[in-house]
Structure 1
């Protein structure tokens, strides 16, 4: 890529964490104009790469250079709650100078601060409107906003600044469907350089190219996610054929080497026989023996080298085949029979104002999608059902064991290994039994002995789910709160495959519609200010403020 069109350039980039864990070693990358979707397995270094590009981290070797100014939206956005909105937008100084001039203060410093930006307030309000933050005044504080509104506020600040390069790390986390729509529109309209790390399939369909980060290198694919998946399927089919061809070649070379050994053994026996019977002169037999040995050595070396070459080709072919293992488990203890009572809600009023009027019940192994705007109370409702919060009035009665996986995944003790974490909730299971069960969740051998605090986001969710499903007694009502946040595409597939084995009732609060549909949802519910309503998937809210 010509240097004039390169906006991010990594040259022999290396980076390792203080504990010695290596992320990049001699990494090369060139990103040019347009929208790039950066994908890869959890823990492969996507977020680290964005932090390096944004200047938050420093490489241990090599260089990362960027052209122009950079705007960065981190995955775990934290804004000072005391900040005013205009300060978060970066327009507070200009706005204050403008107000001073309007009040009659003609100090030179005020005019210098305003410059040509006389419509700063109008532009700021326009971009807030664009992000769906119409009711958010410039004098309000960040502490008055929800988590989703803070993400949109930061994005609005970036749109106002118009940086040359925009870096977004999992921007749809904690955004409801309405807010996601605003983000999609902003991405569609972005004309600069954009690099987005995301597992959001709808967002990834809007990029111009996919950069697949794997094993410390990037592979490029034109188009959005669907084009990438189609191209990858073709690649993997070809890689599978190459493996089969290489395996056949190894088998053939083994046979030829074995045949060569048999022939050489026969020649040796024949030569020995001729020597023993002395049918030819001694000098002739000696010369014949030496020639035979040299020929045999060359023959053996040739076939051994061919076999080694065939094995090397097989290793290369196998490396080209992706081994994104799927979770395969059996959970018979979670089964709920059709018609059995699972949950009853009666005239429920939650601590933050949401209500469920009348009586609502869940029976049998239903799979329920819980939707609604951020701030509608979905998290509060799940925590109330789980017994973590008491309702202001009414009842939430679970008639089966309940398992609840919160957004923050704080069900694990970070100081304990995965084995010890599971042992806390399944005291009747032997350590070997726990290890066998964890292996089904892809925590095999030494992986099961890692402290929970060292896990990546995807690994942490998998471990928390394992601990939850292996609890005794097994949960027959499983409640998940935004489980796909921070998961890569492979992680979403693994989560889906794990939940396929679950035989109980399920309530999943999520804004990831494709993920919900992949679970075989039997009932879609909308929680709003009026209560809980059954809806069809086509009625999902497009104007959905953050879960309390």
Structure 2
């Protein structure tokens, strides 16, 4: 297919409870590499399934020029499945094996088509994915989450589809895997739609689509172009809102002056009528006319105020404040010892080889990125620094005030609310002050009292970081394991803002270079084949690599 297309015609989707998820979407996707962004919960995955033909829309229809290969963001191999099953080629390989054994079934020849080298192509794809030791018969149960995703991606790239639709494909990939994915997608010759919050991956797209409650909007360019346009739109919307508020204040002042002039005229008329000793019937007539005039003016003023309020509301609706975070200046942790963290000849559990041994000292202001391939021991190291795991040997000294957040951002009891956690972290502040600070982080009144396990990833993140920013006393050491996973772009921006405001020692595990570059890091601790390597942080050099 030389011109693959997917076209949405007035597509809408209504949730089972009757709430509309999106409405009247019209768009055509072609061979242009396209990224789809939007807030979590806005309906990106549902839209992707509609585009792939896996989910019917409530109204409207979707036309496809040819087959679509859809890869969901969670790859869960069924029991008993193999690498070939996960790559989506098991039946074709089985048909090829039967033909090679002398079979002549037409269905087998039809399934194989012209892919007589499918076995070799799969092995080559697995090598490119960094998994050369796998073969088609390898049980999928042996694979980690990241490895399963890489196998599924390899299968997607082997497909004969006109279109690939990938939902958060880089979530479980390490840095080499993410770079390999970008290279592979560059070589994909047909239609491509990528749902992602990975700014490096989005930076390789040729067009960005944004799904919001207002609909689907196209931005003709990569992520940088999209971000610049969004910033310009935000600035213009802020200016329009400020102008509408100024106009409302000015008009309200004019209305008050008009009302005061009428009241003075009415008072003068009343005094004149009494002084002139007019007949009761004349006075009653004047009073009725005055009251009618006052009522008419009051209705005109009410209509004017409603029109002014509506213009302010419309301007506020156009203001994209998704990432707006208001921070109080957080207290700095008290003076930490020169060595906040001290590992001497430590033997880390669960690891073998050079990475099992580490000497590490951190001061109270160091901000450290822990990097390395999946399975290299990064999360194990964080759990040791958090006191969740003990070294098998060696010396280990840790600060008493530390906070560790895993990838689920649920440190402590999942049933506790954001307010409960912040109240426990800061017993000196009043409830009203704590509620206000949570609200200024973007958490509404219902969210701050809900169990944290019921919150979205972005909401849990803000609740967790509030305990860092506003704890009394604040923790000296903050440990984060892949905090950006499953967060949308506004929540990622909010997280970066929150972490830049934190003044203690920071250790963060992440494969997202764009995220790490915005944290003001001082050092990088890399897990390599030769062991751990601590070096000054150089984000510019990393971006070029």
TM, length-normalised to structure 2: 0.85
Q: Does 1:346 find its partner at 2:345?
A: yes
Higher relative contact order, chain-length normalized (CA < 8 Å, sep 6+): 1
How big is each residue's C-alpha offset from its partner over 1:204-232, in whole Å with a ceiling of 9 and x where there is no partner?
12222222223352332221121122222
Describe how 1:348-387 pairs up with structure 2 within 5 A. Answer: 348-353=347-352, 355=355, 357=357, 359-387=359-387
Q: Partner residue of 1:493?
A: 493
Deviation at 1:481, TM superposition (A): 0.9
Question: 2-side partners of 1:251 and 1:432: how far apart?
Answer: 30
Cα distance, 1:65 vs structure 2:
2.3
Deviation at 1:416, TM superposition (A): 4.3
State the shift of 1:425 in Å: 7.2
The 5 A counterparts of 1:41-440 are 41-54=39-52, 61-67=58-64, 68-80=66-78, 82-105=80-103, 110-272=108-270, 275-276=273-274, 301-324=299-322, 325-326=324-325, 328-332=327-331, 334-337=333-336, 339-353=338-352, 355=355, 357=357, 359-411=359-411, 413-420=413-420, 435=435, 438-439=438-439
Aligned in 2, Cα 1:359/1:237: closer, same or farther, shift over 3 Å?
Answer: closer
User: Cα 1:541–1:371, aligned 2, differ >3 Å: closer, same or farther?
Assistant: farther
For residues 346 and 117 of structure 1, the distance between their equivalents in structure 2, rounded to whole angstroms, comes to: 54
Match for residue 526 of structure 1? 526
Task: Report the CA distance between 1:289 and its aligned residue.
Answer: 8.4
Partner of 2:29: 32
Between 198-207 and 5-14, report the one with greater CA deviation: 5-14
The corresponding residue for 1:452 is: 452
- Partners of 1:272 and 1:470 in 2: CA distance: 61
Change (3 A) 1:276 1:512: same
Change in Cα spacing, 1:265 to 1:434, as seen in structure 2 (3 Å) is closer
CA drift of 1:333 comes to 6.5
Q: 1:388 to 1:262 in 2, by over 3 A?
A: closer
Provide the C-alpha distance between the structure 2 equivalents of 1:249 and 1:85, rounded to a whole number of angstroms.
Answer: 65
Residues 76 and 113 from structure 1, CA distance in 2 versus in 1: closer, same or farther, beyond 3 angstroms? closer
Tell me if the contact between 1:246 and 1:313 (Cα under 8 Å) persists in the aligned partners: yes
Greater shift after overlay, 136-145 or 520-529?
136-145
Distance in 2 separating the partners of 1:247 and 1:435:
27
2:406, 2:480 within 8 Å by CA — same for their partners in 1? yes
Select between 198-207 and 285-294 the one with higher mean Cα deviation. Answer: 285-294
The one-character-per-residue Cα deviations of 1:2-51 (angstroms, maximum 9, x if unpaired) are xx98614263523325xx48361535242421233222223333234334
Q: Find the aligned partners of 2:289 and 2:500 in 1 and give their Cα distance.
A: 67
CA distance in 1, matches of 2:335, 2:48: 45
SS at match of 2:374: coil
**Relative to structure 2, which stretch is displaced further, 175-184 or 447-456?**
447-456
Structure 2 Cα separation of the partners of residues 240 and 441 of structure 1: 19
Number of equivalences: 537
Distance 2:298 2:271 in 1: 22
CA RMSD of aligned residues (A): 3.6
SS at match of 2:327: coil
Farther off after superposition, 498-507 or 408-417: 408-417
How far apart, CA to CA, are the structure 1 residues paired with 2:4 and 2:107? 38
Paired position in structure 1 for 2:478: 478
Deviation digits for residues 379-434 of structure 1 (CA, Å, limit 9, x no counterpart): 12212332333444444432443321112334354444334455677789886676
Paired residues of 1:422 and 1:434 also in contact (CA < 8 A)? yes
Question: Helix, strand or coil: the match of 2:33?
Answer: strand
Distance across 2 between alignment mates of 1:282 and 1:440: 61
Stretch moving more, 182-191 or 106-115: 106-115
Native 8 Å contact 1:342 1:398 kept in 2: yes
Q: Name the SS for the 1:507 alignment partner.
A: strand
Distance 2:379 2:543 in 1: 17
CA distance in structure 1 between the partners assigned to 2:297 and 2:336 by the alignment: 69
* Kept after mapping to 1: 8 A contact 2:166/2:195: yes
Name whichever of 120-129 and 154-163 sits farther off: 120-129
Tell me the TM-score normalized by structure 1: 0.85
Describe the shift of the 1:45–1:413 C-alpha distance in structure 2 as closer, same or farther (beyond 3 A).
Answer: farther
1:546 aligned residue: none
Select between 364-373 and 350-359 the one with higher mean Cα deviation.
350-359
Which range is displaced more, 462-471 or 140-149? 462-471
Mapped to 2, the partners of 1:159 and 1:295 lie a distance apart of: 76
Q: Give the 3 Å change call, closer, same or farther, for CA 397–539 of structure 1 in structure 2.
A: farther
Note closer, same or farther for the CA distance 1:444–1:90 as it changes in structure 2 (3 Å cut).
closer
| Stretch moving more, 367-376 or 313-322 | 313-322
Relative to structure 2, which stretch is displaced further, 212-221 or 470-479? Answer: 470-479
Bigger drift between 77-86 and 483-492 goes to: 77-86
SS in 2 for 1:138: coil
Partner of 2:12: 13
Give the 3 Å change call, closer, same or farther, for CA 249–329 of structure 1 in structure 2.
closer
User: How far apart are the structure 1 equivalents of 2:433 and 2:246?
Assistant: 39
Structure 2: stretches of 5+ with no match in the other structure: none
Q: Distance in 2 between matches of 1:356 and 1:224?
A: 41
Q: From the superposition, tell whether residues 56 and 277 of structure 1 become closer, same or farther in structure 2 (CA, over 3 Å).
A: same
Asked whether the 8 Å contact 1:335–1:365 carries over to 2, the reply is no
Task: Look up the SS of the partner of 2:480 in the other structure.
Answer: strand
